[in-house]
Structure 1
Amino acid sequence: MGSLLLSSAKAIPIIFFVILSSTLQNFTVSSFEFEVGGAKGWVVPPANGTNIYNEWATRNRFQIGDSVRFKYEKDSVMVVSGTEYKKCDSTHPMFFSNDGNTVYQFDRSGFYYFISGVSGHCKRGQKVIIRVMSPDDDDESSQSSEGASVHAITSGLSALLLLSFTGFYLL
């Protein structure tokens, strides 16, 4: 009877580990909010930095459900077509906001074209193309940087727990 209780006591941590490990392995971030322009916000870039927003966008991975926040003063943000983006044409936006703190959530995969609605700002580089990955994109590059970080942390935590429990049983 005593050995049965001892065996049961050792089984509880194993069951706990299996449940915790499987839960952590399947943990994903469902959406993430990106801040366009970082601390500077949505501003006209300096003359030598007209591509800063597109360089920023290529360093990030966007998924359906993610959103971008534009912080600005005395400006606006618009979503336009690719043709309008190239021409900096703000006459027919699909989306417009000028509240100074605009959040735009991605509801489909594909390309999104954002420009400033203030005359002359787009031509000076205040524009960005954001590519939202398709759910079918299953390679590592389709994960947002946040999602990839969570996966790495949970994998490391699972390995640490396994080592801890293995060490416990060796004692």
Structure 2
Amino acid sequence: MARFFKASHPIFLCFILLCCFHVSLINCSEFEVGGHDGWVVPKSKDNEDIYNQWASQNRFKVNDTVRFKYEKDSVLVVSEEEYERCKSSRPLFFSNNGDTVFKFDRPGTFFFISGVSGHCTRGQKLIIKVLNVEEPAAPSPQSADDTAQTPRAKSGVAEMSPPSFTTWTFFVVSLFGLVYA
């Protein structure tokens, strides 16, 4: 066993480094619009703003995705004016396949509506504000509380910030110490 380990240590070391580097870069989430109900017309007038209430409780970043699950409907990304009118003849994005994933490729405001006549006016519309991805700054006590109150999406991917130079140096030195000991 020790002979195999010494013979393959460069391969093993490269594998470990690549795995650590890959995990450190994963920093995006997928949000499911409408939860278990999916992208549907709100059931009552009281729920007309249900999608915007949901969006305001989440924090969206560049490279995050939103998943729309629906039947016999569609999803359109439109301008603010078209969002207000609930009508678009030239949407920026259109899908009607029943399971649509939309990736945020830039920061800014995105406007979504249903393409089925009457659905948008009954509340099947959504505004999402996407933040720019920035290096995390040292949080002040108040901003740390604000961040704790803003839930992120449930995803199977751990959200991690990239490791610092000191962390990488310690990791590499430790590995070399184990390999050559």
Do both share a fold (TM > 0.5)? yes
Q: Compute the displacement of 1:95 (Å).
A: 0.5
2:90 is aligned with what amino acid? H
Cα distance change on mapping 1:32 and 1:150 into 2, 3 Å: closer
After superposition, the C-alpha distances for 1:30-56 in whole angstroms (9 at most, x for unaligned) are 211110000000000022100010000
After superposition, the C-alpha distances for 1:133-153 in whole angstroms (9 at most, x for unaligned) are 012485665994569x846xx
Q: Compute the displacement of 1:28 (Å).
A: 6.1
Runs of at least 5 residues in structure 2 that lack an aligned partner in the other structure? 1-19, 138-143, 161-181
Aligned to 1:127: 125
Contact 2:76 / 2:114 at 8 angstroms: preserved in 1?
Answer: yes
Q: 1:137 & 1:50 partners in 2: Cα distance?
A: 36
Contact 1:77 / 1:96 at 8 angstroms: preserved in 2?
Answer: yes
Q: Answer yes or no: is 1:41 the counterpart of 2:38.
A: yes
2:31 is aligned with what amino acid? F
1:55 is aligned with what amino acid? Q
Q: Answer yes or no: is 1:116 the counterpart of 2:119.
A: no
State TM-score, norm by structure 2.
0.63
Q: Which has the larger radius of gyration?
A: 1
Higher helix share: 1
Aligned to 1:59: 57
After superposition, the C-alpha distances for 1:74-119 in whole angstroms (9 at most, x for unaligned) are 0000000011101111212010000000000010000000000000
Q: Answer yes or no: is 1:106 the counterpart of 2:104.
A: yes
Runs of at least 5 residues in structure 1 that lack an aligned partner in the other structure? 1-22, 152-171
Aligned to 1:30: 27
1:57 is aligned with what amino acid? A
State TM-score, norm by structure 1.
0.66
Structure 2 counterpart of 1:72, from 70, 73, 76: 70
Q: Compute the displacement of 1:61 (Å).
A: 0.7
